[in-house]
Structure 1
């Protein structure tokens, strides 16, 4: 019993560990194209985004450290498929979202998601 008590804090700490980076690995997507798409559609007008110098929007949440966030918009699981769908058409996933649908193709949305995940590694 004393061994269990001694190991319990270690077990609890291990269970709270962040998911591995591979969970957000997107081999088909290109973060560099994602950065270009972010600049083209003006995401930084509302968000602070690593690697985008201007503008530095404050209407939406900062996307710095996005890869470490557990949830997208505080309600959706932070997974590549969900993030790509969200950046393309947030109101379709969260009706009433303040983020408008963005003029992105599916491929561009995946590239944007890859950029947001990779920008936390820089």
Structure 2
């Protein structure tokens, strides 16, 4: 009986909301991230707080991104995965509509830092 209760508690913890988990990105600059977002045109597909125009809807809104547990409803919302996703989403999820984005690793880290400010 104790084993079953422990297993049930463990499974609940595994599904717990981890949206408040810190997501530090060493050396990244959220302000630069917002500039990069504007330069590469992320808002052509996404609605992004801090970007007035355009306001795309194909990729959905990024409002509240920091509080999401999954990236694109598929992958754990963690910095290393997000940086890879931002640069080459199809390599992580071939069926995605998001194309590879021509940004450097450092630029992707900055964009990720900005996205993690969106609560």
Would you say same fold, with TM above 0.5? yes
Is 1:70 matched with 2:61? Answer: no
Q: Residues of 2 paired with 1:119 and 1:19: CA distance?
A: 12
- TM-score w.r.t. structure 1 length? 0.81
How many residue pairs end up in the alignment?
107
CA contact (8 A) 2:86 2:100 kept: yes
Q: How far off is 1:118 after superposition? A: 1.2
CA contact (8 A) 1:71 1:78 kept: yes
Q: Secondary structure at the match of 1:25?
A: coil
The within-5 A match list for 1:37-116 is: 37-116=36-115
Q: How far off is 1:97 after superposition? A: 1.1
More helix by share: 1
Q: Residues of 2 paired with 1:16 and 1:95: CA distance?
A: 28
CA contact (8 A) 1:46 1:58 kept: yes
Tell me: CA distance 1:17–1:60, structure 2 relative to 1, closer, same or farther (3 Å): closer
Q: Which runs of 4+ in 1 moved over 2 A?
A: 15-21
Q: How far off is 1:16 after superposition? A: 3.4
Name structure 2 gaps, 5 residues minimum: 1-11
Name structure 1 gaps, 5 residues minimum: 1-11
CA contact (8 A) 1:51 1:119 kept: no
CA-based RMSD: 1.7
Partner of 1:20: 20
